[in-house]
Amino acid sequence: MAASSALRLILGSSSASRRQILSEMGYQFTLLSADIDEKEIRKEKPEELVVALAHAKADAILEKMQNSGLMKEIVDSQETALLITADQVVVHDGVIREKPSTPEEARKFIKGYSESHAATIGSVLVTNVKSGTRREGWDKSEVYFHKIPDEVVESLIEEGDVFYVAGGLLVEHPLTSPLVEAIVGTIDSVMGLPKALTEKLIKDSLQEP
């Protein structure tokens, strides 16, 4: 679905994967990122955690928009402005995994995916900038790997991309994609922005009175 000229879409994310997915969906958008300390927000259930983090990101970006004058520009315009924020964690053996912070942690995470499957839990939040109305949801997928060789693990750590994704889980990387045995769910969900859920929340937001 292509974006209407009366729709201003803002992606509140610095994730290259999310930018790619939203572009694939046919939308034009601008980018804003939230500078929040994700470790400050704790929830026991992964579904609650990712939704809470998406709300925190939206709060931070709306404040940034208010301070920059962008909020006033949108309120004074005729267009509908929607802000999309999202978050993701990986659950492995019942433990929530966020972005690895050290090479040792990344090594432990990636090696573990050879032993048992990983589940990705991702949230999407669409905020109507003018009305403040928010629509949220979350999606789950599972990834099963063949054995990941040690040399692949070390190459991934040396490259560094694993430190920017939840659980150090890279399925679209040239080194890891041949090692994916199966995905239960969708690749876009695993990559951080489930298309079907995002589309539904955008459509629902556009239909509000």
Read off the CATH number of the domain in which 144 is found.
3.90.950.10
Q: Mean pLDDT across the stretch 58-72? A: 94
The three-class DSSP label of residue 102 is coil
pTM of the model: 0.90
Q: Mean pLDDT across the stretch 188-197? A: 96
141 domain residue, yes or no? yes
186 domain residue, yes or no? yes
pLDDT of residue 35: 83
Q: Is the confidence at residue 199, as pLDDT, over 50?
A: yes
Instruction: Report the share of the chain in percent with pLDDT over 90.
Output: 85
pLDDT digits (tens, 9 = 90+) for 122-154: 999 999 999 999 999 999 999 999 999 999 999
The three-class DSSP label of residue 186 is coil
List the domain range (segments joined by +) for residue 147.
7-206
Q: Tell me if residue 87 is catalytic.
A: yes
Q: Is the confidence at residue 3, as pLDDT, over 60?
A: no
Amino acid at site 44: E
Catalytic residue among 35, 59, 76, 87: 87
Q: What is the rounded distance in angstroms from the CA atom of residue 166 to the CA atom of residue 110?
A: 11
87 domain residue, yes or no? yes
195 domain residue, yes or no? yes
CA angle 186, 190, 195 (to 5 degrees): 55
- Which residue in 172, 182, 167 sits closest to 92, CA to CA? 167
137 domain residue, yes or no? yes
46 domain residue, yes or no? yes
43 domain residue, yes or no? yes
Phi, psi of 162 (to 5 degrees): -60, -20
66 domain residue, yes or no? yes
The number of folded domains in the chain is: 1
